[in-house]
Amino acid sequence: MIYIKPSYFELAWLLSMTSVASVIHCPPNPPVEGQTPMTLARGVMPDLGPAFREGLRKYKEERALQGTVARPPRSLRTPHQAALQDDESRSKVAFCGRRAGKTLGMVLYAADCMASMPGCLVLYVGITRNAARDIIWRAFKALSNQHKWGLSFHESDLRAYHPNGSQFVIMGSDKEPEIEKARGPEKIALAIVDECQSHKPFNLRYLVEDVLEPGLMDLDGTLVLSGTPGLVPTGFWYDVTTGARKGWSVHSWTAKDNPHLAVPFETFIERVKEKRGWDDNNPILRREYYREWIRDESRLVYPFDASRNIYKDVTPDKSWTIVLAMDFGFVHSTAWAVMGYPKYGDVVYVLRSFKRAGQTPDDVASQTAKLVDEWSPDIIIGDLGGLGKAYAAQFEQRYRIPIRAANKRDKRGSIEYVANALLTGKILSNEGNTTLHQEWLSLVWDDLHEDIAEGQDDHEADAVMYGYKETPAYLCQLEPKQREIDGLPPWVDREDDDHEIPQPHWGEVDDMY
Ligand SMILES: Nc1ncnc2c1ncn2[C@@H]1O[C@H](COP(=O)(O)OP(=O)(O)OP(=O)(O)O)[C@@H](O)[C@H]1O
Ligand SMILES: [Mg+2]
């Protein structure tokens, strides 16, 4: 016979439930509804102090909950929260203004899913694990205790367990190993990505399409993305919310539709407008409260203007100096920019620019070799920090062509040089360089205005920046008067012209690496 030693708490529980206990205790009145085993047990068990009483209380609570686990009633949800949850699509979006009830809607959705699908996994992904915990953990715990959902919350691994075996897990998308955890063996019934506007755009796309979506196969699970408009109207989240990326069922509402706020939406808005001197066109108002995608010009890094900075029909001849500039990356894209400038003049042309993700050093070497064949660059430069060294080494080994280290000093100053050149029309870009133009149109400063804000895809812009720093075009070399007399256009070479490759004007860079 197996003898299992009961704990104090189990003994207390048993005693409190036996008729002997009731006889000994002889309560003056029969137990009434709401009287807990705790009050009964107190009469027959020796009082072992507050720690014992607290332990006993928790034990009773857990036991009691296991028998009375509830599903969140529909009445808890606002109409928009209910519409999102009841939508049968497997890919849903909550695109809302601030305080609309996105996160609380997700808590109710998660709790319902856990209760209705025993043994399932519900994932909640925030920007970082800590941010996710701050946003949802406490609210989830409070609601679970209040409504008796029966969940037990484990702080150490930020997991909540349902008595039916379902689990709720919190993750952050900021670190790759963290994202990779979503590839675990558990069957995902519901994956929620909250605050989508603040995830790094590349991470968000990778997380959603490469990691989460395949993980939903076992249970034909559901993916829900939630958030407000981001700072720049571009990227994966923008495409999903605007319908440019197909297959997402978008639900959109504002705080006006949230009946749980202390003050009516309109009253609050009027107060904010008055306090901050805003009119209805204020970009923060429109973005944060009315969930509109706004292009906030004041934060843009590059003053790119298609009517000023795009050229058509210019073909370099052999008098031009050609620079091939590269920004290397594996997970992030590797970008190539072929730039050129005629012997005289102060305009630099971005002849070709593009980027590719997931390139091995071998792929990069082959692609670079193709460009070398096509353009015969006079200078090849690349960002040789970090992984870049391996890429450059592979290329140099295979093709015996050296790559010069790009000058990466003074990033802020370098960005300003390019920005100024764009503003004054000194950089022109081929109309086919669409991904470069997208970067220029969307990149925004970080809060300190020191660098491009984190998480933006700026690789082509960086490659152009490295290339531009190698050109002496800013020196504004004017063509000798004689040319005008000869009636020759600036780019036509004359027999007696020397073709010298100008030296970089940003000083020597070799000492940096
Ligand atoms: N169904 C609900 N029942 C009770 N309160 C709710 C409900 N939905 C939202 N709320 C309350 O409304 C407020 C805003 O909700 P929530 O935090 O979910 O909004 P949000 O859209 O995620 O906000 P943010 O944009 O700041 O992330 C909170 O006080 C929340 O408790
Ligand atoms: Mg929220």
Contact assessment for residue 288 and residue 98, using Cβ atoms and an 8 Å cutoff = yes
Q: Is 254 in the pocket of ligand 1 (CB under 6 A)?
A: no
Average pLDDT, stretch 159-183? 86
pLDDT at 187: 87
Give bridge partners of residue 122 from the DSSP assignment.
168, 190
Task: Answer whether residue 10 shows pLDDT above 70.
Answer: no
Ligand nearest to the CA of 102: 1
Compute CA distances 69 → 147, 151, 306, whole Å. 9, 8, 61
CA torsion angle 89 95 99 104 (round to 10): 20
pLDDT category, 8, cuts 50, 70, 90?
low
Task: Answer whether residue 503 shows pLDDT above 70.
Answer: no
Q: How many residues does the chain have?
A: 513
Compute CA distances 322 → 316, 319, 378, 392, 477, whole Å. 9, 9, 5, 19, 16
Alpha-carbon distance of 398 to 43, in angstroms, equals 86
In degrees rounded to 5, what are phi and psi of residue 239? -65, -40
Which atom of ligand 1 lies nearest, measured to the CA of 106? Answer: 18
DSSP-assigned states of every residue in 14-28: HHHHSHHHHHHH--S
pLDDT category, 247, cuts 50, 70, 90?
very high
- The mean-pLDDT minimum among 159-173, 207-221, 241-255, 355-369 falls in 355-369
Global pTM?
Answer: 0.63
Distance from residue 322's CA to the centre of ligand 1 (Å): 56
Contact assessment for residue 354 and residue 433, using Cβ atoms and an 8 Å cutoff = yes
Pairing state between β 404-405 and 379-382: parallel
Q: What six digits make up the tokens of 318?
A: 């052999």
Alpha-carbon distance of 148 to 145, in angstroms, equals 5
- Please report the domains of the chain, with CATH numbers, ordered by start residue: 3-66 (no CATH), 74-265 (3.40.50.300), 306-475 (3.30.420.280)
Average pLDDT, stretch 58-82? 72
DSSP state for residue 345 in the 8-state scheme: B
pLDDT category, 39, cuts 50, 70, 90?
very low
Average pLDDT, stretch 327-354? 89
pLDDT category, 63, cuts 50, 70, 90?
low
Q: Is 430 in the pocket of ligand 1 (CB under 6 A)?
A: no
pLDDT at 178: 75
pLDDT category, 12, cuts 50, 70, 90?
low
Is 252 strand, coil or helix? Answer: strand
Longest dimension (CA), the chain: 121
Task: Answer whether residue 387 shows pLDDT above 90.
Answer: no
Distance from residue 453's CA to the centre of ligand 1 (Å): 28
Task: Answer whether residue 16 shows pLDDT above 50.
Answer: no
Ligand nearest to the CA of 101: 1
Q: What six digits make up the tokens of 148?
A: 């008796």
More confident residue, 16 or 205: 205
Compute CA distances 52 → 6, 7, 22, 34, whole Å. 15, 11, 21, 21
Distance from residue 253's CA to the centre of ligand 2 (Å): 13
Alpha-carbon distance of 191 to 125, in angstroms, equals 8
Residue matched to tokens 């919310």: 241
Give the model confidence (pLDDT) of 391-408 as tens digits: 888 888 888 888 888 888
Task: Answer whether residue 510 shows pLDDT above 50.
Answer: no
Contact assessment for residue 353 and residue 362, using Cβ atoms and an 8 Å cutoff = no
Task: Answer whether residue 136 shows pLDDT above 50.
Answer: yes
**Which range, 198-202, 273-277, 283-287, 508-512, is most confident?**
273-277
Distance from residue 148's CA to the centre of ligand 1 (Å): 20
Alpha-carbon distance of 58 to 63, in angstroms, equals 9
Q: What six digits make up the tokens of 28?
A: 């003056």
pLDDT category, 453, cuts 50, 70, 90?
confident
Average pLDDT, stretch 93-103? 97
pLDDT at 508: 41
CA nearest ligand 1 atom 5, residue:
260
pLDDT at 58: 65
How high is the mean pLDDT of the chain? 82
Contact assessment for residue 25 and residue 44, using Cβ atoms and an 8 Å cutoff = yes
Give the model confidence (pLDDT) of 104-129 as tens digits: 999 999 999 999 999 999 999 998 88
